[in-house]
């Protein structure tokens, strides 16, 4: 899935908050306590027009993952982040998202930790209980 689904959200890793990283077997589960998103017009009841904001929480499940970086210190604001899917570099991903194609992600955190992840698949399914908060930036 590369295109933005109609009415879907776009996840931007930069300025998201990484809250928790945990392993389950060969899978890596990354919880964004607040995810920086763009909401196209009408995608949420709270967002009748296109706007940026934050969605909390968002869970990314990297299947059959390998990673570099210290997981114990992987928390806090994501200063920079990007994805590679099928060899294409992306700054944003549509939400919800699921791909069985190999994926890479790089999260550079404000605390200096860099987490590089390679996985056989990535899944991010929204539960519907996430809360959207508009950006308060001027």
Mean pLDDT of 15-44: 88
Tell the residue number behind the tokens 């860099």, with chain if given. 114
> Which one has a higher pLDDT value, 3 or 138?
138
- Residue 25 Cα distances to 31, 77, 102, 130, angstroms: 17, 26, 18, 26
Residue 36 has pLDDT above 60, yes or no: yes
Whole-angstrom distance, CA of residue 30 vs CA of residue 43:
24
CB-based contact 18:32 (threshold 8 Å): yes
- Copy the structure tokens of residue 48: 């009748």
Q: What is the pTM of this model?
A: 0.85
- Nearest alpha carbon to residue 18 among 89, 90, 127, 111: 111
- The whole-number pLDDT of residue 32 equals 94
Q: Tell me the pLDDT tens digit for each residue of 42-99.
A: 555 554 566 788 988 999 999 999 999 999 999 999 999 999 998 899 988 999 899 9
- Residue 101 Cα distances to 21, 111, 116, angstroms: 22, 30, 17
- The whole-number pLDDT of residue 135 equals 73
- Nearest alpha carbon to residue 65 among 21, 109, 95, 96: 21
Ranges assigned E (strand) in the chain: 9-24, 27-39, 51-56, 58-63, 66-68, 76-85, 88-90, 92-95, 97-99, 103-109, 114-119, 121-124, 131-134
Whole-angstrom distance, CA of residue 48 vs CA of residue 29:
31
């Amino acid at each position: 899935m590369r295109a933005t689904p109609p009415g879907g959200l776009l996840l931007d890793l930069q300025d998201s908050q990484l809250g928790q990283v945990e392993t389950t077997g060969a899978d890596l589960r990354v919880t964004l306590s607040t995810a920086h998103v763009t909401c196209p017009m009408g995608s949420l009841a709270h967002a009748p027009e296109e706007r940026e904001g934050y969605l909390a929480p968002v869970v990314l499940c990297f299947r059959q993952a390998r990673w570099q970086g210290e997981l114990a210190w992987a928390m806090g604001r994501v200063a920079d982040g990007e994805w590679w899917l099928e060899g294409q570099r992306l700054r944003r991903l549509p939400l919800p998202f699921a791909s069985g194609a190999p994926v890479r992600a790089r999260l550079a955190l404000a605390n200096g930790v860099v987490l590089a992840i390679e996985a056989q698949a990535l899944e991010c399914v929204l539960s519907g209980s996430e809360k959207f908060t508009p950006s308060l930036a001027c």
